[in-house]
Structure 1
Amino acid sequence: MIPKVIQGGNFSDHRGIISYVNDFSFKDIERFYIISNSDENPIRAWQGHKLDSKNFYCVSGSFKIHFVKIDNWENPSKDLPVETIIVSEFDSKIVHIPTGYANAIQSLETNSKLISFSTLPLINVKEDDARYPSDYWNINE
């Protein structure tokens, strides 16, 4: 499986705005987190997932979601291509990152908030955790 964007939309009338992603299924979701990076540390990187799929939705502000396909969990190549998708509160889309990838979350604005929907039960998180230094792959290009 490859990363993908599940596009939603917005509906606006005299009552306000509704944002939606109707093609997203909560069938395999086990838990969720709301991520708010600090202004001093706007990049949360790199966390890999052998078993967990991640789904990201921007609630406020904007983010860059960077990801790499891991070739070797113990010693991944530093030359792996980094892909990036930008999300904002106005996009109404979910970025799906399947198992086998590491990701980095970069806030682009103060007070940005991102929901992360996870597919792995909390009891299995220890066997899934793969972390790499924040500068392991260059995201500033």
Structure 2
Amino acid sequence: MMSFQFIKGNVFKDARGSLRFFNTFNMGDIIRMYEIVPSDAEFTRGWQAHKYETKWFYCSQGSFQINVVKIDDFQNPSVKLVPTAFRLSEKEPVILEVIGGAATAIKATESDSKLTVFSNFTLEESKKDDFRYDLKTWQLQ
């Protein structure tokens, strides 16, 4: 089973400006949201994994590279796993859904980037489902 999927959005433009929308994004399972604003484009956040929590990532400003790797064993994951890299940009309205069972490593690729993250878990539930691995565990793509 894939650990990710894309939800395509669209943009409407007229004389008043533009409107980004995601009419096929069902937000019924979302419990909380937060925004990541890195202090610079050099730092990578990760690897962070969840067995059960699903997260949706949307770049509202700038751009990000999000590496996703499906975890084979949460207590002792194989270092031979190969991540898949995705680039999210404010220029293309898309939401990346990463289902439980995967780890992510996130890096802004432009200064002043902003990433909105939606979750189907409360903060307390997320903390109980949180697994962290050294950034050097898997090679960033």
Whether the TM-score (by the shorter chain) exceeds 0.5 is yes
RMSD: 1.2
Q: Which runs of 5+ in 2 are unaligned?
A: none
Q: In 2, distance between residues paired with 1:35 and 1:85? A: 17
**In 2: Cα distance, 1:93 partner to 1:38 partner:** 23
Query: Per-residue deviation at 1:134?
Result: 1.4
Instruction: Calculate the TM-score normalised by the size of structure 2.
Output: 0.94
Give the aligned partner of residue 98 of structure 2: 97
Instruction: Look up the SS of the partner of 2:124 in the other structure.
Output: helix
What amino acid sits opposite 2:110 in the alignment? Answer: E
Distance 2:31 2:135 in 1: 27
Amino acid at match of 1:80: L
- SS of the residue corresponding to residue 125 of structure 1 reads helix
User: Does the 8 Å CA contact 1:57/1:114 hold for their aligned counterparts?
Assistant: yes
Aligned to 1:16: 17
Classify the secondary structure of the residue corresponding to 1:24: coil
Asked if the contact 2:41/2:107 (under 8 Å) is kept, the reply is: no
Q: Which 4+ stretches in 1 moved above 6 angstroms? A: none
State, as a whole percentage, how many aligned pairs show the same letter: 41
After the TM superposition, which of the residue ranges 100-109 and 39-48 deviates more from structure 2?
A: 39-48
Quote the residue 1:64 is aligned against.
65
2:130 is the counterpart of 1:129: yes
The CA deviation at 1:122 is: 2.0
Q: Distance in 2 between matches of 1:67 and 1:124?
A: 21
**Which whole-Å CA distance do the structure 1 matches of 2:41 and 2:24 have between them?**
35
Aligned residue number for residue 48 of structure 2? 47
Q: Mark the runs of 5 or more structure 1 residues left unpaired by the alignment.
A: none
